[in-house]
């Protein structure tokens, strides 16, 4: 039983070494640049959203505002 435990431990250690080497190799590869979610076109939409007082907005006003903002983005 102890011999089997040593075999299993050796397998786990070698698997860990392979994964560590693979991860180290992946870190040396350049990563693609991350794109931003909001494009310059949508900046006016963001400004409008920042100016809103959501606590004072009625459901109908919210729907109308969403329709207006969607038109601006398209």
| pLDDT mean over 61-65 | 93
Q: Which domain holds residue 50?
A: 2-73
Asked whether the beta carbons of 46 and 38 are under 8 A apart, the reply is yes
- Residue, of 66 and 27, whose pLDDT is higher: 66
pLDDT, tens digit (0-9, with 9 covering 90-100), for 13-33: 888 888 888 877 766 666 666
How many domains are there within the chain?
1
Q: What percent of the chain has pLDDT over 90?
A: 18
> What predicted TM-score, i.e. pTM, was given to this entire model?
0.44
Say how far apart CA 44 and CA 53 lie, in whole Å.
16
Distance of CA 11 to the CA centre of its chain: 34
Asked whether the beta carbons of 37 and 16 are under 8 A apart, the reply is no
Say how far apart CA 5 and CA 38 lie, in whole Å.
54
Asked whether the beta carbons of 30 and 22 are under 8 A apart, the reply is no
């Amino acid at each position: 039983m102890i011999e089997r435990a040593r075999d299993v431990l050796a397998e786990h250690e070698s698997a860990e070494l392979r994964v560590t080497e693979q991860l180290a190799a992946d870190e040396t590869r350049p990563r693609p640049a991350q794109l931003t979610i909001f494009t310059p076109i949508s900046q006016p939409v963001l400004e409008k959203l920042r100016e809103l007082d959501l606590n004072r907005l009625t459901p109908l006003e919210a729907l109308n505002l969403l329709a207006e903002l969607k038109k601006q983005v398209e």
